[in-house]
Amino acid sequence: MDDLWRLSLYELTYYVALIIGIGLIAVTIYRAVKKKGIVKKHVVMAVLSLVIVFICQIPSIAAVLFFVKVPMISMVILVILCAFNVFIFKTKLGQDFRTVGQSGVVANASGINVNKTRIKAIIISTVLAAWGQIIFLQNIGTLNTYGSHEQVGMFAIAAILIGGASVSKATNKQALLGVILFHTLFVVSPTAGKNLFNNAQIGEYFRVFVAYGVICVSLALYAWKKIVEDKRDLKM
């Protein structure tokens, strides 16, 4: 699937930034003409998009970006997945998911079939995770029928937690940011471990330790925050 359609990172970055910049400028001009007020966020994003376009014209940066190839089919699937996540939470089923996730007792009192809603959520999550697993396995070269899901599950959890997600809430922005930060951690941590302990073999263990440590610390902080909030509610 990755080999069906590939674009260089230069082309993808340049054209996406250019389209976003022109679109936001058009929206800003339209709102100014209609006297609806200018949104500062749109102006900032338009300026950043145009800055990215100009940065792409720097020869040294353009050479690096041309070297990297981006699988567009996988990117399209990712965009569709993000759009689906936004859409489903605007439906009644998505609101039921949110209510059940916050409190099963409240959801049951509101007339929501908690077990049925949880089953639907698990089915949808499994299907979406299966597509993610297909994208992951196509670059591995081997198919471990019974244990391949264990190769990516822990990293997916760590990535989304690094992005700022919690047990009760996770968004597309947090997932995408977490992937970028987690991959950066994977690249940086072996070298950091090697320099800290002056041993190349320690670097790999240091990376695994950091990955699992992020999960433990994130869950511990969430549990601590929950306890503090419950105590505050009791005092009130």
- pLDDT tens digits for range 194-222: 787 777 777 777 777 877 787 788 778 87
Cα 67 to chain center, whole Å? 24
Q: Is 222 helix (H, G, I), strand (E, B) or coil?
A: helix
Summarize the confidence of residues 116-143 as an average pLDDT: 84
d(CA 113, CA 216): 32
- How far is the C-alpha of 129 from the C-alpha of 127, rounded, in Å? 5
Q: What is the mean pLDDT of residues 151-167?
A: 77
Q: In whole angstroms, what is the distance from residue 125 CA to residue 160 CA?
A: 15
pLDDT at residue number 236: 64
Rounded to an integer, what is the distance from CA 178 to the centroid of its chain? 5
pLDDT average, residue stretch 170-190: 84
Crossing angle of helices 200-235 and 172-197, in 10° steps, is 130
The whole-number pLDDT of residue 172 equals 87
* Average model confidence (pLDDT) across the chain: 83
Q: Give the distance, in angstroms, between the CA of residue 142 and the centroid of all CA atoms in the same chain.
A: 26
What tokens were used for 103?
């409190």
pLDDT at 48: 92
Closest by Cα among 84, 104, 105 to 175 = 84
Q: Which residue has the higher pLDDT, 83 or 105?
A: 83
* DSSP run (H or E) holding 70: strand 69-71
Q: Judge if pTM exceeds 0.85.
A: no
Q: Where are the domains of the chain?
A: 7-70, 149-236
Band of residue 145 on the pLDDT scale cut at 50, 70, 90? low
- Tell me: pLDDT of 119 over 90: yes
In this prediction, residues 15-24 reach a mean pLDDT of 90
pLDDT for the residue 94: 87
Q: Report the percentage of the chain scoring pLDDT > 70.
A: 96
| Whole-number pLDDT of residue 123 | 93
